Amino acid sequence: MIHEVDEVLKRLLSGGALAGSGIEVAFEAPTRDWAARRNAPVVNTYLYDIREDVSRRQRGHTSVRDERNIVVRRSQPPRWFRLSYLVTAWTKTPQDEHRLLSAVLATLLPRELLAPEELPGSLGRLGLTIPLTVAGIQAESRSFAEIWSALGGELKPSLDLVVTAPFPAYPEYDAGPPVTEGATIRVRDLEGEGSEPPGRSHRPHQVAAARAAHEEKAAARRAEKR
């Protein structure tokens, strides 16, 4: 699921305001060694935090249907996770980096929701819309200064990009075959004689008619005994 979100972000950032610019989109950790090896402008999208969004957790189960709209499997609802990315621009001058960050903002701000048809693989097959936020209030406990310190680099201007993505819950359970026939009812008279052959199915009005006929026969037998 995470690699599919990476694929979506790479496609978004390579288009929009950056379309045709040839700017590379990288997902490596922006350490000192990485920064020393680069030789072209890069937009770095580093995944620094993964946490479940417990406010979206659901109970119960969901039904998986086939092309005939028949339930074939049941599974738990997907769990949602907040994927937090540190987006930075790397060029030779701060002014060019700021231009790149502006282009990233212009590309991502209109994309608050990602439709299922835009999502690849198993992410798209879930049929769910995915929210995306950029440069919002940081909800994670770690500050950006701590992140840069852990990476061994100096603090740079950055954007906080958060994608809240569903992850399928396992396992799935096969559903039983659908019921296609009514219940089987066998009516017996008071003397224990079956009035219908075994295994015969009745609709409600047929059962009522058979029961009335049976009561009439029983009444006639009692009258003869008198």
CATH of the domain at 80: 3.30.2000
What six digits make up the tokens of 94? 């701060």
Look at residues 156, 174, 192 and tell me which one is the last residue of a structural domain: 174
The CA-to-CA distance between both ends of the chain, in Å, stands at 82
Give me the phi and psi of 178, to 5 degrees please.
-65, 150
Indicate if 114 and 202 belong to the same structural domain: no
Counting the structural domains of the chain, the total is 2
Average pLDDT, integer, range 134-163:
80
Q: What is the pTM of this model?
A: 0.68
Query: Any idea which of 30-39, 105-114, 151-160, 181-190 has the lowest mean pLDDT?
Result: 181-190
Indicate if 29 and 110 belong to the same structural domain: yes
Q: Find, among 35, 80, 73, the residue nearest to 55 by Cα.
A: 80
Q: What is the pLDDT of residues 42-63, one digit of tens each?
A: 999 999 999 998 888 877 666 6
Strands 24-26 and 130-134: unpaired
Contact 195, 206 (CB under 8 A): no
Residue 32, classed as helix, strand or coil, is helix
pLDDT confidence band for 225 (50 / 70 / 90): low
Indicate if 120 and 19 belong to the same structural domain: yes
Residue for token digits 């621009």? 89
Indicate if 189 and 166 belong to the same structural domain: no
What six digits make up the tokens of 158? 């950055």
Indicate if 75 and 117 belong to the same structural domain: yes
Average pLDDT, integer, range 186-206:
53
The overall average pLDDT reported for the chain is: 80
Average pLDDT, integer, range 117-135:
89
Residue 144 has pLDDT above 80, yes or no: no
Which residue would you say has higher pLDDT here, 76 or 194?
76
Residue 184 has pLDDT above 60, yes or no: no
The confidence score (pLDDT) of residue 164 equals: 94
Per the structure, the complete domain to which residue 217 belongs is given by: 181-226
pLDDT confidence band for 140 (50 / 70 / 90): low
Determine which helix (DSSP H) or strand (DSSP E) holds 34, and give its type and residue range: helix 32-37
What six digits make up the tokens of 78? 């997907």
